[in-house]
């Protein structure tokens, strides 16, 4: 739609714009977590192992993170609506291929590669369109709140929905469910128009895209090898860091030469935005890391079914819904920094409770209080973190910052699954309680680092930072 959406417009106009955007974020987050409760079913049906399914999940998250920056940049050249549609189609094809996969290789092609590429194309337009269409403080908070809530619920409710579908039909039906949601999004968004025209002359830095993607792939791949070969891990991590340094040096060189790079170096000079992206990374790292750890522990160690595991995760879904859906009201009363700090405190407390109550306690509901607090805390800080980052830059840089921001968030998801999963899988058969406890301790320590970053956000940051007060 050409007119910006502001406060006071009809609820039907808001739904027409916001519903497909929120659904798009929901299904991508759902895809990142619903497989956690299918670990046993999928590994048996595809004749693979828990490590194989973990690899497929991590590659999906990694492909998203590696391609999100180029995906955001492509929106300037081809338009946000077009990239959204192409991403939806690629994602839908990947979901259908996954549904009929005869083995792990085809699953990785459909789920990890095609769904990952589709997500990298469709998610940046979601946040760019929301930023451009919702310009007033409360309306932007409402939009980011709905989209972030949808993403958080997709991640938190993924185990429950996936468990229900797996138990009632098959794990393959969960991928058909994703394809049906994609069709619904395409239908709902057919009348949505791009607020800004595409710029076919916009330069796309192919070399920068390759370097950024390669660096991230090497970095996460190294973490995944932590339990197999320490030297290979160190080699890949160091190589990934060197490639990323090469990428940043190339950005500076292209700017000095007057050539447009993949990312502007000015994106990294905004203190509030930088700290906001750190908090985004850690939020998703804790959520996805805890999700994989608890799901694997329940199924592999405690012997719970997909549906039983999913029901236990209802606690996290409820907590996340309660705080996410209150985002607009909270944004009017509290500074973004305070909301993010509070969210980290609550989330770390949830991880501590999961650590204290579960080990040695055979009761399944010992997981509920900790999962509830994790959901509540993450939900409280998802929206303000996104708002701080997106609202720190003008319209001309929304493509870049959206891609960078989403890449950082999805990299956090990849790190969470890779780090926690690697620790858990490495010791789950020898000493499961010790492996579970160590994974939770690592997530808690990382959460404290995120809290430290949130505490350094500018105190004067107002509610709805950067959002204009009139449309």
Residues 171 and 214 in one domain: no
| CA angle, residues 447, 215, 156, in degrees to nearest 5 | 40
Residue 460 placed within a domain:
no
| 384 phi, psi to nearest 5 deg | -60, -35
User: pLDDT tens digits for the chain (471 residues)?
Assistant: 444 444 444 445 556 788 899 999 899 888 877 887 788 889 889 998 877 887 888 788 778 878 888 888 888 888 889 999 999 999 999 999 999 999 999 999 999 999 999 998 998 888 888 877 876 656 766 777 778 778 877 877 788 888 889 888 999 999 999 999 999 999 998 888 888 788 887 878 889 889 988 998 888 778 766 666 677 778 888 999 999 999 999 999 998 988 888 888 888 888 888 999 999 999 989 988 888 888 888 887 788 877 788 888 888 888 888 887 777 677 778 888 899 999 999 999 999 999 888 877 778 788 889 999 999 999 888 888 888 887 788 767 766 777 778 778 877 877 787 777 777 766 665 677 778 888 889 899 999 999 999 999 987 654 444 444 333
CA distance 367 to 355: 9
Cβ atoms of residues 205 and 262 within 8 Å = yes
Residues 73 and 148 in one domain: yes
Residues 267 and 255 in one domain: no
**pTM of structure:** 0.77
Q: Report the C-alpha dihedral over residues 56, 57, 58, 64, rounded to 10 degrees.
A: 100
Helices (H), 169-305: 171-188, 206-224, 230-256, 271-296
Residues 169 and 234 in one domain: no
Residue 462 placed within a domain:
no
Residues 336 and 213 in one domain: no
Residues 240 and 324 in one domain: no
CA distance 227 to 310: 28
Q: Which CATH number belongs to the domain containing residue 350 in this structure?
A: 1.20.1250.20
Answer left, alpha or beta for residue 360, where phi above 0 means left and psi between -120 and 50 means alpha.
left
Residues 254 and 266 in one domain: no
Residues 54 and 91 in one domain: yes
Token pair for 85: 């549609």
- Rounded (10°) angle between helices 50-78 and 398-427: 180
CA distance 263 to 204: 10
What residues make up the domain containing 53? Answer: 12-193+262-455
Which of 116, 138, 134, 136 has the alpha carbon at shortest distance from 126? 134
Residues 251 and 300 in one domain: no
CA distance 348 to 447: 6
Token pair for 204: 């796309």
Residues 216 and 307 in one domain: no
47 C-beta neighbours (distance < 10 Å), count: 10
CA R_g for the chain: 21
Residue 461 placed within a domain:
no
Residues 106 and 56 in one domain: yes
């Amino acid at each position: 739609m050409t007119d910006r959406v502001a406060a006071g417009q009809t609820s039907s106009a808001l739904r027409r714009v916001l519903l497909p955007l929120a659904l798009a974020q929901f299904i991508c987050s759902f895809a990142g977590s619903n497989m956690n409760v299918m670990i046993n079913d999928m590994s048996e049906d595809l004749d693979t192992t828990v490590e194989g399914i973990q690899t497929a999940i991590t590659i999906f998250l990694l492909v998203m993170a590696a391609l999100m920056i180029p995906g955001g940049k492509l929106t300037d050249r081809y338009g946000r609506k077009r990239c959204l549609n192409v991403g939806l189609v690629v994602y839908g094809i990947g979901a259908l291929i996954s549904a009929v996969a005869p083995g792990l290789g085809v699953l990785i092609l459909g789920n990890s590669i095609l769904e990952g590429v589709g997500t990298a194309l469709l998610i940046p337009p979601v946040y760019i369109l929301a930023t451009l269409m919702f310009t007033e403080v409360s309306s932007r908070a409402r939009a980011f709140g709905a989209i972030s809530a949808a993403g958080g619920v997709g991640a938190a409710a993924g185990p429950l929905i996936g468990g229900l579908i797996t138990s009632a039909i098959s794990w393959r039906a969960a991928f058909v469910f994703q394809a049906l949601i994609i069709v619904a999004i395409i239908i709902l968004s057919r009348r949505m128009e791009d607020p800004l025209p595409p710029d076919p002359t916009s330069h796309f830095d192919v070399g920068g895209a390759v370097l950024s993607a390669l660096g991230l792939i090497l970095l996460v791949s190294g973490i995944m090898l932590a339990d197999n070969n320490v030297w290979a891990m160190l080699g890949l991590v160091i190589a990934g860091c060197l490639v990323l340094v090469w990428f940043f040096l190339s950005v500076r060189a292209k700017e000095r030469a007057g050539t447009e790079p993949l990312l502007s170096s000015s994106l990294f000079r905004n203190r509030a935005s930088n700290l906001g992206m750190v908090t985004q990374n850690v939020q998703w790292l804790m959520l996805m890391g805890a999700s994989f750890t608890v799901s694997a522990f329940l199924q592999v160690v405690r012997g719970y079914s997909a549906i039983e595991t999913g029901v236990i995760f209802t606690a996290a879904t409820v907590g996340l819904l309660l705080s996410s859906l209150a985002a607009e009201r909270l944004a009017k009363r509290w500074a973004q920094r305070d909301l993010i700090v509070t969210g980290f405190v609550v989330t770390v407390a949830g991880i501590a409770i999961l650590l204290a109550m579960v080990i040695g306690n055979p009761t399944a509901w010992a997981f509920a209080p900790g999962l509830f607090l994790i959901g509540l805390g993450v939900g409280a800080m998802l929206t303000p973190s996104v708002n701080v980052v997106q609202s720190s830059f003008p319209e001309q840089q929304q493509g870049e910052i959206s891609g960078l921001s989403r890449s950082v968030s999805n990299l956090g998801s990849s790190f969470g699954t890779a780090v926690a999963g690697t620790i858990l899988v490495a010791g789950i058969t020898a000493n499961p309680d010790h492996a579970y406890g160590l994974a939770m301790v690592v997530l808690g320590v990382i959460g404290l680092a995120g809290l430290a970053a949130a505490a350094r956000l500018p105190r004067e940051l107002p509610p709805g930072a950067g959002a204009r007060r009139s449309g």
